[in-house]
C-alpha cells in the first residue's frame, strides 16, 4: 500500500491510496509517476470545486437580483447585456429571446436613445460608472422615468470583467418634484405680487400719514393765532368792562377763557405729536441718567408742591434723539406726579434692566391711582383720557407722544397696573439705532 498526497499549492486536498498485495510493486519510479498523476488530479479537483463555488455564487447573486424591486441586468466588459432579472421582464413585457443582441434598445424612447448610447459608449471606453435618467416603455406601452446606474465589476487584477446595472423607477418622485417646483414658483409669484401690493400700500400710507402730519401741523399753527386773539380780547374785556358784565357775564367770560386755554393746550399737544418725525434730531450717544437729571430740574416745582420723591437708579447710555428722550421722560414722570392718590405723597422710581440682543428696559414706577389694564390700548391713543378734565388737567396727548417717540427709536412701550395700586410704564429701547422716521 502507498499513500500519495493530493496537494494544490499549500492546500492538502486529500490522499490517493494505492493497494497491491504483491511485494516490490511500488518502486521509486512508480511512486514518481503516481505523484505526477496526483498533481494533475489535484488541479482538476480544484478547478471542479472552484467552478461549483462560482456557479453557487452566481446563483445566489441572481436570486438576490431577482428579489429587488429595481430592474437589474449584467453586461460583459465590452457592454453586451447577457442577463436580466425577472423584474425587467415583468415591467417591459419582453422575453429573453427578444432581449438578445441589442433588444434592450426596443424599450427606449427613440428620441432619447441616441443620448443613452453616447453616454453608454463613453462609460465603456473610460471605465467610469454610468449614471443617467431616461424613460423606459412598460408592458402597457407607457413610458416611466428611471434612474439608471451601472457599476463596473473588477477581478483580482483590477480588470473589468462585467458590469452590473439597475433601473430605479423615479416617476412619482419626479412628478412630486415637478409639483413642488410648480408650487414654489406659484408661491414666489404670489409673494412678489403681495410684496408689490404691500409696497404700494405702504407708499400710499406714508403719503397719507405725511399729508395728515402736514395738515395737523399747519392746522395747529394757523389756529394758534386766532386763539391768542380770543384770549387776549377776553382778558381785555375782563379788565375794562368786567364790572359792567355782572356775575353772569363774568361767568360766561371765564368759561370762554377756560375753553380757549384748553384748546390752546390741545393744539400744542397736536403740534408736538406731528413734529416728532418731522423736526427730529440725528441720533447720538445719550446718557439717560443725565436726561432724567434735566427732567427733574424742570419738574422741581411740581415735586416740591406735591411733596413727592423721585428715585433714579443708574441708567444706560444709548443712541437716541436727546430732545425726544427728555420729552419722553418728562411726560412719564410728570404723569406719575400728577396722578397720585389724594392725601398721599407721590413716590416715583426709575430703573433699568438689561435684556438680550442689545436692548434695555427702562421702567418708570409710581404709587399713584393706577388704571384697569383693559384700557391699556386706549391710554396710548391721541386725545384719550381715563379721567375727567375736572379731576386731572391734561389733553390726553402725553402718552401718545411717548409711544410715537419710542417707536421712532425702534422700541416699544407698555404698562402694567391695577386700579388704586400704581402703575409701571415699561420702555424697551435698543442700545444702538440708526435714526429713522416712522409713519
Contact call for residues 319 and 283 (beta carbons, < 8 A) = yes
Q: Which of 169, 185, 211 is the last residue of a domain?
A: 169
- pLDDT at 9 > cutoff 50: yes
For residue 118, what pLDDT is reported? Answer: 96
Tell me the mean pLDDT in the region 229-239.
82
- Quick one: 50 and 97 in the same domain? no
* pLDDT confidence band for 46 (50 / 70 / 90): low
- pLDDT at 102 > cutoff 50: yes
List strand residue ranges (DSSP E) for 194-333, in order: 284-287, 309-312, 317-320
Asked if residue 240 belongs to a domain, the reply is no
Asked if residue 368 belongs to a domain, the reply is yes
pLDDT tens digit sequence for 271-286: 666 666 666 678 889 9
Asked if residue 26 belongs to a domain, the reply is yes
pLDDT tens digit sequence for 204-219: 777 766 666 666 666 6
For residues 293 and 260, give the distance between their C-alpha atoms in angstroms, rounded to a whole number: 33
Taken in order 107, 110, 112, 113, the sign of the CA dihedral is positive
- Quick one: 284 and 418 in the same domain? yes
Taking the CA atoms of the chain, what radius of gyration do you get in angstroms?
49
- Quick one: 295 and 365 in the same domain? yes
Tell me the mean pLDDT in the region 18-38.
62
Taken in order 200, 206, 210, 211, the sign of the CA dihedral is positive
Tell me the mean pLDDT in the region 161-166.
91
The strand pair at 347-355 and 309-312 is best described as parallel
- Quick one: 326 and 285 in the same domain? yes
Asked if residue 145 belongs to a domain, the reply is yes
- Quick one: 406 and 302 in the same domain? yes
Number of structural domains in the chain? 3
* pLDDT confidence band for 108 (50 / 70 / 90): very high
Q: Which residues contact 239 (CB under 8 A, 6 or more apart)?
A: none
- pLDDT at 225 > cutoff 60: yes
For residue 434, what pLDDT is reported? Answer: 46
Tell me the mean pLDDT in the region 73-80.
92
* pLDDT confidence band for 236 (50 / 70 / 90): confident
Asked if residue 188 belongs to a domain, the reply is no
Q: What is the pTM of this model?
A: 0.46
Greater model confidence, 56 or 373: 373
* CATH classification of the domain holding 118: 3.30.450.20
- Quick one: 77 and 135 in the same domain? yes
- Quick one: 44 and 154 in the same domain? no
* CATH classification of the domain holding 332: 3.30.565.10
For residue 436, what pLDDT is reported? Answer: 43
Q: Which of 40-44, 129-133, 165-169, 333-337 has the lowest mean pLDDT?
A: 40-44
Q: Which of 196-205, 254-263, 316-325, 370-379 has the lowest mean pLDDT?
A: 254-263
- Quick one: 20 and 148 in the same domain? no
For residue 15, what pLDDT is reported? Answer: 62
For residues 201 and 74, give the distance between their C-alpha atoms in angstroms, rounded to a whole number: 65
For residue 55, what pLDDT is reported? Answer: 62
Tell me the mean pLDDT in the region 114-135.
95
Give me 53's grid cell. Answer: 463555488
Q: Which among 34-43, 59-68, 202-211, 318-327 has the top mean pLDDT?
A: 318-327
- pLDDT at 89 > cutoff 90: yes
- pLDDT at 439 > cutoff 80: no
- Quick one: 294 and 415 in the same domain? yes
Look up the domain containing 45 and give its range. Answer: 2-58
- Quick one: 54 and 72 in the same domain? no
- Quick one: 366 and 420 in the same domain? yes
Give me 438's grid cell. Answer: 416712522
Greater model confidence, 74 or 204: 74
Q: Which of 142, 169, 196 is the last residue of a domain?
A: 169
Mean pLDDT of the chain, nearest integer: 82
DSSP 130-187: EEEEEEEE-TTS-EEEEEEEEEEEE-TTS-EEEEEEEEEE-HHHHHHHHHHHHHHHHH
pLDDT tens digit sequence for 380-432: 887 777 665 656 666 678 888 899 899 988 999 999 988 888 899 999 999 87
- pLDDT at 321 > cutoff 70: yes
* pLDDT confidence band for 135 (50 / 70 / 90): very high
- Quick one: 38 and 155 in the same domain? no
DSSP 382-419: TT--SS-TTTS---S-HHHHHHHHHHHTT-EEEEEE-T
Q: Which of 121, 154, 169 is the last residue of a domain?
A: 169
Asked if residue 109 belongs to a domain, the reply is yes
Contact call for residues 6 and 12 (beta carbons, < 8 A) = yes
* pLDDT confidence band for 341 (50 / 70 / 90): confident
Tell me the mean pLDDT in the region 185-206.
87
Contact call for residues 320 and 326 (beta carbons, < 8 A) = no
Contact call for residues 359 and 429 (beta carbons, < 8 A) = yes
Asked if residue 331 belongs to a domain, the reply is yes
Asked if residue 435 belongs to a domain, the reply is no
As beta bridge partners, residue 424 has 365, 416
Amino acid at each position: 500500500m502507498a499513500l500519495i498526497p493530493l496537494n494544490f499549492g499549500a492546500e492538502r486536498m486529500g490522499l490517493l491510496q494505492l493497494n497491491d498485495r504483491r511485494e516490490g510493486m511500488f518502486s521509486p519510479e512508480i511512486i514518481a509517476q503516481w505523484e505526477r498523476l496526483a498533481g494533475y488530479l489535484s488541479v482538476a479537483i480544484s478547478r471542479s470545486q472552484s467552478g461549483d463555488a462560482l456557479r453557487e455564487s452566481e446563483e445566489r447573486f441572481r436570486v438576490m437580483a431577482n428579489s429587488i424591486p429595481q430592474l437589474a441586468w449584467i453586461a460583459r466588459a465590452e457592454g453586451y447585456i447577457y442577463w436580466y432579472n425577472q423584474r425587467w421582464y415583468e415591467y417591459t413585457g419582453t422575453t429573453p429571446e427578444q432581449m438578445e443582441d441589442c433588444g434592450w434598445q426596443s424599450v427606449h424612447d427613440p428620441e432619447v436613445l441616441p443620448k443613452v448610447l453616447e453616454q453608454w459608449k463613453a462609460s465603456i471606453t473610460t471605465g467610469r460608472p454610468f449614471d443617467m435618467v431616461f424613460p423606459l416603455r412598460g408592458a402597457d406601452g407607457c413610458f416611466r422615468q428611471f434612474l439608471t446606474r451601472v457599476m463596473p465589476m473588477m477581478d483580482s487584477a483590477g480588470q473589468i470583467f462585467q458590469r452590473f446595472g439597475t433601473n430605479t423607477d423615479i416617476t412619482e418622485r419626479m412628478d412630486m418634484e415637478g409639483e413642488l417646483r410648480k408650487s414654489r414658483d406659484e408661491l414666489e409669484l404670489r409673494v412678489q405680487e403681495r410684496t408689490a401690493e404691500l409696497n404700494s400700500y405702504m407708499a400710499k400710507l406714508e403719503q397719507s400719514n405725511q399729508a395728515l402730519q402736514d395738515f395737523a401741523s399747519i392746522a395747529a399753527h394757523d389756529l394758534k393765532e386766532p386763539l391768542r386773539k380770543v384770549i387776549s380780547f377776553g382778558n381785555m374785556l375782563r379788565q375794562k368792562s368786567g364790572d359792567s358784565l355782572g356775575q353772569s357775564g363774568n361767568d360766561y367770560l371765564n368759561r370762554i377763557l377756560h375753553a380757549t386755554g384748553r384748546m390752546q393746550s390741545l393744539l400744542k399737544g397736536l403740534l408736538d405729536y406731528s413734529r416728532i418725525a418731522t423736526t427730529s434730531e440725528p441720533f447720538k450717544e445719550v446718557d439717560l441718567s443725565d436726561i432724567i437729571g434735566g427732567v427733574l430740574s424742570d419738574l422741581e416745582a411740581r415735586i416740591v408742591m406735591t411733596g413727592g420723591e423721585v428715585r433714579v437708579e443708574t441708567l444706560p447710555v444709548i443712541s437716541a434723539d436727546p430732545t425726544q428722550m427728555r420729552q419722553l421722560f418728562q411726560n412719564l414722570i410728570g404723569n406719575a406726579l400728577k396722578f397720585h392718590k389724594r392725601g398721599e405723597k407721590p413716590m416715583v422710581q426709575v430703573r433699568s434692566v438689561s435684556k438680550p440682543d442689545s436692548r434695555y428696559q427702562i421702567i418708570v414706577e409710581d404709587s399713584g391711582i393706577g388704571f384697569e389694564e383693559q384700557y391699556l390700548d386706549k391710554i396710548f391713543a391721541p386725545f384719550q383720557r381715563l379721567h375727567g378734565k375736572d379731576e386731572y388737567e391734561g389733553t390726553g396727548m402725553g402718552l401718545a407722544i411717548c409711544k410715537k417717540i419710542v417707536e421712532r427709536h425702534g422700541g416699544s412701550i407698555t404698562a402694567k397696573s391695577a386700579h388704586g395700586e400704581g402703575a409701571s410704564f415699561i420702555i424697551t429701547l435698543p442700545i444702538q439705532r440708526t435714526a429713522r422716521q416712522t409713519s
